[in-house]
Amino acid sequence: MNPELKLCLVCSPGGHLTQMQRLMPAFEGRDYFFVTHGSQYSRHLSRAYLIPYRQGYIRERITWLSTILVALRILLKERPDVVISTGGGEMAVPFCYAGKLLGAKIIFIETLARTTTRSAAGRLIYPIADLFLVQWESLLKLYGKKAQYWGNVL
């Protein structure tokens, strides 16, 4: 990856954030920022936008709409070249679509926890991803030709 590219690392906190943090050696020396929910898991991040989390079915739908607006604001301000996500649909989907709309490349890494089924975020981001990685060979046939298996990257 070109060291001059600006990266947006977007994921929900908890396991998705842990998986993103395992990738940090690949981002060393690069200009990047995180986008995640504010939580005990994300408070330590130094260069991060922490978005409040709203729970519940109706709130989740409203959250997606409001998160798209937040995503556009942040991405217009930061102008990343690449949006990288390890998931958490409430964060990954709005940011990946907003990033694509603004011309960023999209890299999605399906969570290590998905071994035999596709995630909702994966299903929604797959069509727009420039690079779509799965961590289990069994997922290749579920996603299609664009999906790539590089082994367990996390």
Q: What is the pLDDT of residue 54?
A: 63
The chain-wide mean pLDDT, for the chain, equals: 85
Helices marked H in 1-152 — which ranges? Answer: 15-22, 24-27, 57-78, 89-101, 120-125, 140-143
Token duo for residue 144: 């299609």
Q: What is the mean pLDDT of residues 70-88?
A: 95
Token duo for residue 82: 């690449």
Give the global pTM.
Answer: 0.88
Tens digit of each residue's pLDDT (9 = 90 or more) over 134-153: 888 888 888 889 998 887 76
Q: Where are the domains of the chain?
A: 6-149
Tens digit of each residue's pLDDT (9 = 90 or more) over 84-116: 999 887 889 999 999 999 999 999 998 766 767
Cβ neighbors of 113 (< 8 A, separation 6 or more) are: 15
**pLDDT band at residue 13 under the 50/70/90 scheme:** confident
Percent of the chain with pLDDT over 70: 85
- The verdict on domain 6-149 having CATH code 3.30.465.10 is no
